[in-house]
């Protein structure tokens, strides 16, 4: 067998492509001021929230969709999307046992235990189904430590002051087209608050699931880490298979105060569209940003991007506090007709700030995989350091890999190093595996996993295995 045969890419069926038969209430398609009011009303939000949403909506109206990415997709009709969907059978959930059994089954199929008996040891989960959070585990145990982990809507009810203080403080509604849209119509998301001098006793995790057809999901996550506190958070995402594209435009804001540390990991496995035609799939247009506001604070992004028809995402760090640290570890695997344009932005503002970027892009099939990143070292950031390494691996001859870094340095006391290279899987490597009795497919996934090892080791252990398996799954039938 030769590597040319690798090009025969078939791709395994999307494991999470089922649709759950759950009665959902979807508001009519289209976006206008009334829809914004309706969402706010449904969620029984305080007045400041409605005002914020309206401000964002009015700003959004003045914007046009960005076209600077290296992405190709038909124009999105923003009036052909429904902006809110919720499972019908839902009043106030008193305990996990009240969760709709069909919903429970859905999350179990996804491998996410939301019923506490089956919970993952030491991982608290917030499960979000379409626009609504359906279950959050371990809430009480966390509260004993003063840690708040709940749906954002609940946080607006219980901790409006904190939300008001930080929401939009990292990603303002004026930031970009999708951030403005999200600010206007976001429906749900997770809220995490770690008080001073607290190390969150367990991993926090949110699972997002888009189920309803023709809805957009606009969740918003806010994590605030007070002085000397620490948290590790993971999000996972899936969606059923539909012919139509679904829009996912999330916003994630992280705030780290003095000596605080936030580790944010993502395993993204949205439906990527039909492997053969590229029809359907999620448009994943996400704004993620963390603010290292305090001295010696640290924000670390780790992402495993394997799904979505189109990914457009740059988890970034504002390194404001002196000695603060930003990290970005990314694996982006595209196959079939997927397109990914992802990377990070590191803004060095405080003194002696440090950032590390490790990006591994793997393109197979007819996909396009782009790394786009900015490292900006301001005049004030004396003693700043950055190291960037972004490698691309191409499997087959119909895919593309692009690397577009932007580097901007404005003082003479900083150092920066950027390296990028293409890596290929050689016939000799595959043959070596085979000579030792290992089949071609295992050989390829092992080599790819090896290529990504530097990133996987940054994931919380519970999820590193998952990520490895996910990658193998995505590469199945890439050879043969």
Partner 1 sequence: MSNRNETKMVVDKKNYIDPDWLLEIRQEAKALFKDIGFPNSRHETWKYLNLDQDLDLERHIKKTPIRRTERDECVSVLFKNNTPECESILANKNDLIITNFRSAYAEHKELIKSSLSKGLLQNPFSYLNTAQFDDGALILVKEGCKVEGPIIIDLQTHVEEERLKGIHTRTLIVLEKGASATVFVQHHSFLDKPEFVNDYFDIVLKEEATLEFILTQEGDQPYRFETIKASIDTKANLNYVSFVNDCLVTRHDMGVDFIGEKAVVNLAGIALLSSESQYFNHLYIDHKVGNCDCSQVFKTILRDKSLSEFSGLVVVAKHAHGTNSTQSNPNLLLSDNARALSRPQLRIDADDVECAHGATMGQLNPEEVFYLESRGLNKSAARALLTFGFAEDIIQRIKQPLIQHECDLILREGLSSYDKHR
Partner 2 sequence: MFNIKDLKASIGDKEILKGINLTINPGEVHAIMGPNGSGKSTLAKVLTGHPDFTEAEGSVLLKGKNLLELDPDERALEGLFLAFQYPVEIPGVNNEEFLRMAYNAKMKKNGKDAVDPLDFSDFIQEKLAKLSMDESFLERNVNHGFSGGEKKRNEILQLLVLEPEMVILDETDSGLDIDALRIVAKTVDAYRRADRGILVITHYQRLLDYIKPDIVHVLANGKIVKSGDKSLALELEDKGYDWVEAEAK
DSSP-derived secondary structure for 142-176:
HHHTT-EEEEHHHHHHH-HHHHHHHTTSSS-TTS-
Q: Which position among 192, 272, 349, 377 is part of the footprint of partner 1 (CB under 8 A)?
A: 377
465 binds partner 2 (CB under 8 A): no
Give the C-alpha separation, 255 to 260, whole Å.
9
Q: Which position among 67, 77, 94, 419 is part of the footprint of partner 1 (CB under 8 A)?
A: 419
Binding mask 128-157 for partner 2 (x = CB under 8 A): ------------------------------
Contacts of 259 (CB under 8 A, 6+ apart): 227, 228, 294, 295, 296, 297
Identify which range of 43-51, 281-289, 290-298, 388-396 contacts partner 1 by CB under 8 A: 388-396
166 to 185, contacts with partner 1 by CB under 8 A? none
Which of partner 1, partner 2, none does residue 435 bind (CB under 5 to 8 Å by kind)?
partner 2
Q: Decide if 373 contacts 407 (C-beta within 8 A).
A: no
Q: Which position among 143, 421, 438, 453 is part of the footprint of partner 1 (CB under 8 A)?
A: 421
Shortest Å, Cβ 472 to partner 2: 12
Shortest Å, Cβ 429 to partner 1: 13
Pairing of strands 123-129, 132-136: antiparallel
Residue 413 buriedness (CB in 10 A; 0-12 / 13-18 / 19+): exposed
389 binds partner 2 (CB under 8 A): no
Residue among 6 and 304 whose Cβ is closer to partner 1: 6
Contacts of 28 (CB under 8 A, 6+ apart): 82
Q: Measure CA 42 to chain center.
A: 26
Shortest Å, Cβ 426 to partner 2: 7
Identify which range of 33-41, 164-172, 261-269, 436-444 contacts partner 2 by CB under 8 A: 436-444
Backbone angles phi, psi at 79, to 5 degrees: -95, 0
β-partners of residue 248 are: 217, 284
Give the C-alpha separation, 276 to 396, whole Å.
16
Residue among 61 and 424 whose Cβ is closer to partner 1: 424
127 binds partner 2 (CB under 8 A): no
Virtual CA dihedral for 55, 57, 58, 61, nearest 10 degrees? 160
Residue among 90 and 418 whose Cβ is closer to partner 1: 418
Which of partner 1, partner 2, none does residue 392 bind (CB under 5 to 8 Å by kind)?
partner 1
- Which residues sit at the interface with partner 1, rule CB under 8 A? 68, 377, 379, 382, 392, 394-422, 424
- Which residues sit at the interface with partner 2, rule CB under 8 A? 1-3, 423, 426-440, 442, 446-447, 449-454
């Amino acid at each position: 067998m030769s590597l040319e045969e690798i090009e025969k890419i078939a791709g395994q069926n999307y494991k999470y492509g089922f649709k759950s038969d759950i009665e959902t209430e979807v508001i009519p398609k289209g976006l206008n001021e009334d829809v914004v009011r309706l969402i706010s009303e449904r969620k029984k939000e305080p007045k400041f929230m409605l005002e914020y949403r309206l401000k964002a909506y009015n700003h959004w109206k003045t914007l046009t969709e960005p076209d600077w990415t290296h992405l190709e997709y038909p124009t999105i009709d923003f009036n052909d999307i429904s902006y809110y969907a919720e499972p019908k059978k839902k009043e106030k959930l008193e305990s996990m046992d009240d969760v709709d059994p069909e919903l429970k089954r859905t999350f179990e199929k996804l491998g996410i235990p939301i019923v506490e008996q089956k919970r993952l040891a030491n991982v608290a989960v917030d499960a979000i189904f379409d626009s609504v959070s359906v279950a959050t585990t371990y809430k009480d145990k966390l509260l004993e430590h003063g840690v708040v982990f709940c749906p954002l809507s609940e946080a607006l009810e219980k901790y409006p002051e904190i939300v008001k203080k930080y929401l939009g403080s990292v990603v303002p509604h004026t930031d970009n087209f999708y951030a403005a849209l999200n600010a206007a119509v976001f429906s749900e998301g997770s809220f995490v608050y770690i008080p001073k001098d607290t190390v969150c006793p367990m991993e926090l995790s949110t699972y997002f699931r888009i189920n309803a057809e023709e809805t957009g999901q606009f969740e918003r996550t806010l994590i605030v880490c007070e002085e000397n506190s620490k948290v590790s958070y993971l999000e996972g995402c899936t969606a059923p298979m539909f012919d139509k594209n679904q829009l996912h435009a999330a916003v994630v804001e992280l705030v780290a105060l003095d000596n605080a540390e936030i580790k944010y990991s993502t395993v993204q496995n949205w439906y990527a569209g039909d492997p053969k035609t590229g029809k359907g799939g999620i448009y994943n247009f996400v704004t993620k940003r963390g603010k290292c506001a305090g001295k010696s604070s640290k924000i670390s992004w780790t992402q495993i991007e394997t799904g979505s028809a189109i990914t457009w995402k740059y988890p970034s760090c504002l390194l404001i506090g002196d000695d603060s640290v930003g990290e970005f570890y990314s694996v982006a695997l595209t196959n079939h007709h997927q397109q990914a344009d992802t990377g990070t932005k590191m803004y060095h503002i405080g003194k002696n700030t440090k950032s590390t970027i490790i990006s591994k892009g793997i393109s197979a099939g007819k996909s396009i995989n782009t790394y786009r990143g900015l490292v900006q070292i301001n005049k004030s950031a004396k003693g700043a350091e950055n190291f960037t390494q972004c490698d691309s691996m191409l499997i087959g001859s119909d895919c593309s890999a692009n690397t577009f870094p932007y580097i901007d340095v404005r003082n003479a006391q900083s150092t920066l190093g950027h390296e990028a290279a293409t890596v290929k899987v050689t016939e000799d490597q595959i043959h070596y595996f085979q000579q030792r009795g290992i089949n071609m497919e295992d050989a390829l996934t092992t080599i790819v996993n090896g290529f990504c090892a530097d990133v996987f080791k940054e994931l919380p252990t519970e999820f590193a295995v998952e990520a490895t398996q996910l990658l193998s799954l995505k590469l199945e039938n890439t050879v043969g």
